[in-house]
Structure 1
Amino acid sequence: MAGPTPAPDARSATRPLGVSRPDLPITDLPTPEEVFGVRRIGPRELFRHALGPSLIALGISIGSGEWLLGPQAVGQFGFEGVGWVIVVSAVLQTLYNIECSRYVMATGEAPVVGWGRVPPGWFLWVPLSVLVVIFAFIAGGWAASAGQGMYALVHGEVPGEGAEEPRLWAIALLVVVFLIAAGARRVSRALELANWLMVGTILLGLLILCLFVVPFGLWWDGLKGFVTPAAPPDGITATQIGGLAGFTALASGLNWYVMGHYRDKGYGMGHRAGFIAGMRGERVKLLPSGVTFPDDEKNTALWRRWYRLLLADMWGVFFVGAMLGMLLPTILMARAVELTGTRPTQADMPTFVASALDAEYGRWLFYLALLLGVLVLFSTQLGIFEGMVRAATDAAHATSPRLRALLEGDPRRLYYPFMLVLLVVIAVVLHLALPVSLVQWSANMSNLGALIYPFMLMYLNSRLPRAARPRPWHHAILVLNFLFFGFFFVNFVADFVGDPLVTF
Structure 2
Amino acid sequence: MSHPLGVSRPDLVVTDLPQPEEVFGVQRIGAKELVKYAIGPSLIALGISIGSGEWLLGPQAVGQYGFVGVGWVITVSALLQTFYNVECSRYVLATGEAPVVGWGRVPPGFLLWVPLSVFVVIFAFIAGGWAASAGQGVYALVHGTVAPAGAEEPRLWAIALLVLVFVITAAARRISRALELANWLMVSAILVTLLLIDLFVVPFEQWWDAIRGFVTPAAPPPGITATQLGGLAGFTALASGLNWYVMGHYRDKGYGMGFRTGFISGLRGGRSELLDSGVTFSDDARNTATWKRWYRLLMVDMWGVFFVGAILGMLLPTILMARAVEISGQKPTAANVPTFVASVLNEQYGRPMFVLVLIVGVLILFSTQLGIFEAMVRVTTDAAHATSPRLRALIEGDPRRFYYPFMLTLLVVIAIVLHLAVPVELVQWSANMSNLGALIYPFLLMYLNSRLPRAARPHWWHYVILVLNFLFFGFFFVNFIADFIGEPLITF
TM-score, structure 2 normalization: 1.00
Q: What residue number does 1:27 align with?
A: 15
Structure 2: which amino acid aligns with 1:447?
N
Letter in 2 for 1:347: A
The answer on 1:242 being equivalent to 2:222 is no
Q: What is the aligned counterpart of 1:263 among 247, 251, 255?
A: 251
Deviations 1:131-169 (A, max 9, x none): 000000000000000000010011110000000000000
Residue 119 of structure 1 deviates from its aligned partner by: 0.1
Partner residue of 1:347? 335
Secondary structure at the aligned position of 1:292 is classed as strand
Match of 1:316 among 288, 301, 304: 304
Q: Does 1:306 align with 2:294?
A: yes
* Partner of residue 359, structure 2: 371
- For 1:312 and 1:214, the matched residues in 2 are separated by 31
The aligned residue for residue 400 of structure 1 is 388
1:71 alignment counterpart: 59
Query: Residue 137 of structure 1 aligns to which amino acid in structure 2?
Result: F
Q: Does 1:212 align with 2:183?
A: no
Amino acid at match of 1:54: S
**2:420 equivalent among 425, 432, 438:** 432
**Structure 1 partner of 2:491:** 503
In the alignment, residue 241 of structure 1 is paired with which amino acid? Answer: L
In the alignment, structure 1 residue 253 sits paired with structure 2 residue 247? no
2:112 maps to what in 1? 124
Aligned to 1:157: 145
Q: Number of aligned pairs?
A: 492
Pair 1:491 & 2:479 matched: yes
Among 464, 468, 474, the alignment partner of 1:476 is 464
Give yes or no for the alignment of 1:46 onto 2:34.
yes
| Aligned match for 1:383, one of 371, 377, 391 | 371
CA distance, structure 1, for counterparts of residue 307 and residue 60 of structure 2 = 21
Q: From 271, 274, 294, give the equivalent of 1:283.
A: 271
C-alpha distance in structure 1 between counterparts of 2:112 and 2:76, whole Å: 32
SS in structure 1 at match of 2:146: coil
Q: Residue 88 of structure 1 aligns to which amino acid in structure 2?
A: V
Query: Is 1:192 matched up with 2:180?
Result: yes
Equivalent in the alignment of 2:164: 176
* Runs of 4+ displaced beyond 2 Å: none
Partner of 1:86: 74
**AA partner of residue 174 (structure 1):** L
Residue of structure 1 equivalent to 2:92: 104
- Aligned partner of 1:59 in structure 2 is 47
Counterpart pick for 1:444 among 432, 437, 443: 432
Q: Distance in 1 between matches of 2:7 and 2:284?
A: 25
Aligned to 2:448: 460
Structure 1 letter corresponding to 2:380 = A
SS in 1 for 2:217: coil
1:78-111 CA deviation, whole Å, 9 max, x = no partner?
A: 0000000000000000000000000000000000
Matched residues in 1 for 2:27 and 2:345: separation? 49
Q: 1:358 aligns with which of 343, 346, 355?
A: 346
Is the aligned partner of 1:144 residue 2:97? no
* One-letter identity of the residue aligned with 1:238: A
Q: Counterpart amino acid of 1:307? A: Y
Residue type of the partner of 2:33? E
Q: Secondary structure at the match of 1:26?
A: strand
What amino acid maps onto 1:202 in structure 2? I
Amino acid at match of 1:150: V
Task: Write the distance in 2 (CA, Å) between the matches of 1:427 and 1:165.
Answer: 12
One-letter identity of the residue aligned with 1:235:
G
Q: CA RMSD in A?
A: 0.3
1:456 counterpart letter in structure 2: L
Give the counterpart letter for 2:166 in structure 1. F
Secondary structure of 2:157's aligned partner: helix
The gaps in structure 1 that reach 5 residues or longer are 1-12
Map Cα deviations across residues 210-251 of structure 1 (whole Å, 9 max, x no partner): 001001111001000001100000000000000000000000
Secondary structure of the equivalent of 1:383? helix
Match of 2:316 in 1: 328
Q: Deviations over 1:273-292 (max 9, x none)?
A: 00000000021010000000
CA–CA distance in structure 2, aligned partners of residues 405 and 421 of structure 1: 21
In the TM superposition, residue 424 of structure 1 has moved relative to its aligned partner by 0.1
What SS does structure 2 have at the residue aligned with 1:89? helix
- The AA in structure 2 aligned to 1:76 is Q
Kindly provide the amino acid, as one letter, of the partner of residue 265 in structure 1. K
Q: Percent identity?
A: 80
Distance 1:494 1:271 in 2: 44
Q: Name the structure 2 match of 1:4.
A: none
For residues 349 and 233 of structure 1, what CA distance do their matches in structure 2 show? 20
CA distance in 2, matches of 1:374, 1:316: 25
Q: CA deviation at 1:396?
A: 0.2
AA in 2 matched with 1:296: D
Q: Distance in 2 between matches of 1:68 and 1:28?
A: 45
Instruction: Write the distance in 2 (CA, Å) between the matches of 1:48 and 1:239.
Output: 40
The residue matched to 2:392 in structure 1 has which SS?
A: helix
Provide the C-alpha distance between the structure 1 equivalents of 2:145 and 2:89, rounded to a whole number of angstroms: 43
Give me the whole-angstrom Cα distance separating, in 2, the residues matched to 1:154 and 1:398.
Answer: 44
* Letter matched to residue 244 of structure 1: L
Distance 1:477 1:228 in 2: 21
TM-score, length-normalised on structure 1?
A: 0.97
